[in-house]
């Protein structure tokens, strides 16, 4: 049975009478479909064994159960709708279904790339992130960072570090910080593409990398994406800087110096890693990002304000 047919089968199991199913594009680690019937909306997700990128990137599909366990564990501590609710699972197929974001919601990434920058929304996302970071470790298996190693440390820090051998100590140090600083629940892919937004609220998706680890990886990961969009759309840089500051002010608990251990390297990862950012293709701009990232490593800024000011 192909994936869309299987998604429709799940829809009928959930009680939808005349469901439709359509693939959601953009995911590299899973097949994802939206199933709908009148005002009922769910998402069916099935992990794949090799990620859809140019470089070889195998990860066992059982990582999807780490995501399911995380959603069930943390939902009670977060605002309603901040994460999807799990409504169906088929363990032997590495497939589950969850509630969908409300109709009309869009990814935060799409809004940012369209120049729609809501500073208050960035603050709200920071507040939700802060609530996640305050949680105790909900499950002992989250101490296992195998999936994070396979999905982030290896393809980001180890692979990209090999492209920049003179920065080996920085990449190794950041990877070691992820292993040593076991302080909070880390999403591991805290990116605007994984945050659905609408009416001032947000739903955080894609928890396959979740583990108990270094929260500065998440703050660095998100700031990295805001910076890349400021580079891509320099006319939006002032508002993106304000959004970054609102987000960080709300998160509060993660020292900026810790975030800067990861941020410059993550910039290099999205230029020279296994998953380069798709909207920056000009080699002149890519070279400028490399130079900017290296400058941050040489002289780390002391605030998000200074971080964005140095883009000019």
CATH number at residue 202: 3.90.1200.10
- What are the residue ranges of helices labelled H in 134-236? 146-148, 159-163, 168-180, 215-232
Whether residues 90 and 37 share a domain: the answer is yes
Tell me the DSSP string of 85-117. PEEEEEGGGTEEEEEPPPTT-EEHHHHHHTT--
Is 92 in the same domain as 129?
A: no
The pLDDT assigned to 51 comes to 62
Cα separation of 3 and 118, whole Å? 36
DSSP 8-class letter at 84 = P
Domain span at residue 208 reads 106-309
The pTM for the full model equals 0.93
Give pLDDT tens digits along the chain (312 positions). 599 999 999 999 999 999 999 998 756 678 899 999 988 999 999 987 766 555 556 667 888 999 999 999 999 999 999 999 999 999 999 999 999 999 899 999 999 999 999 999 999 999 999 999 999 998 999 999 998 998 899 999 999 999 999 999 999 999 999 999 999 999 999 999 999 998 888 999 999 999 999 999 999 999 999 999 999 999 999 999 999 999 999 999 899 999 999 999 999 999 999 889 999 999 999 999 999 999 999 999 999 999 999 998
Q: Residue 20's beta-bridge partner residues?
A: 36
What is the per-residue pLDDT for 200? 80
Residues 178 and 280 grouped into a single domain: yes
* Statement to judge: residues 140 and 229 lie in one domain: yes
Helix (H, G, I), strand (E, B) or coil at 30: strand
110 and 95: one domain?
A: no
**Strand, coil or helix: what is 172?**
helix
- CA distances 28 to 58, 91, 162, 255, 302, Å, are 11, 20, 23, 31, 34
Per the CB < 8 A criterion, the answer to whether 146 and 85 are in contact is no
Asked whether residue 168 falls in the same domain as residue 285, the answer is yes
CA–CA distance from 183 to each of 124, 128, 254 (Å)? 22, 17, 10
Q: Give the angle subtended at the CA of 44 by the CAs of 52 and 275, to the nearest 5°.
A: 20
122 and 91 together in one domain: no
94 and 146 part of one domain: no
The pLDDT assigned to 33 comes to: 94
Tell whether 188 and 304 lie within a shared domain.
yes
The pLDDT value recorded for residue 312 is: 80
pLDDT value, residue 60: 77
Q: Which residues contact 238 (CB under 8 A, 6 or more apart)?
A: 308
pLDDT at position 27 is 65
Q: Are residues 291 and 268 in the same domain?
A: yes
């Amino acid at each position: 049975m192909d994936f869309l047919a299987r998604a429709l089968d799940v829809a009928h199991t959930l009680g939808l009478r005349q469901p439709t199913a359509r693939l959601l594009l953009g995911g590299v680690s899973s097949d994802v479909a939206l199933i709908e019937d009148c005002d009922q909306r769910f998402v069916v997700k099935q992990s794949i064994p090799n990620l859809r990128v140019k470089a070889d990137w195998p990860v066992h599909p059982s990582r999807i159960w780490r995501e399911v366990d995380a959603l069930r564990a943390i939902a009670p501590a977060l605002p309603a709708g901040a994460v999807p609710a799990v409504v169906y699972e088929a363990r032997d197929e590495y497939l589950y279904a969850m509630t969908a974001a409300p109709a009309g919601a869009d990814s935060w990434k799409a809004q940012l790339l369209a120049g729609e920058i809501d500073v208050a929304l960035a603050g709200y996302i920071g507040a939700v992130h802060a609530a996640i970071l305050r949680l105790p470790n909900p499950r002992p298996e989250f101490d296992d960072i195998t999936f994070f190693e396979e999905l982030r440390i290896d393809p980001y820090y180890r692979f990209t570090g090999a492209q920049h051998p003179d920065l080996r100590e920085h990449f190794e140090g950041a990877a070691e910080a992820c292993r040593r600083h076991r302080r909070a629940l880390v999403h591991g892919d805290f990116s605007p593409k994984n945050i659905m937004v609408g009416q001032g609220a947000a739903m955080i998706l894609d928890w396959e990398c979740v583990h108990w680890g270094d929260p500065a990886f998440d703050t660095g990961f998100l700031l990295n994406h805001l910076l890349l969009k400021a580079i891509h759309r320099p006319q939006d840089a002032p508002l993106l800087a304000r959004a970054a500051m609102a987000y960080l002010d709300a998160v509060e608990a993660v020292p900026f110096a810790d975030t800067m251990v990861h941020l410059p390297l993550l910039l290099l990862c999205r230029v020279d890693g296994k998953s380069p950012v798709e909207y920056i293709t000009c080699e002149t701009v890519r070279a400028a990002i490399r130079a900017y990232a290296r400058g941050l490593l040489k002289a780390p800024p002391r605030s998000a304000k200074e971080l964005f000011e140095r883009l000019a």
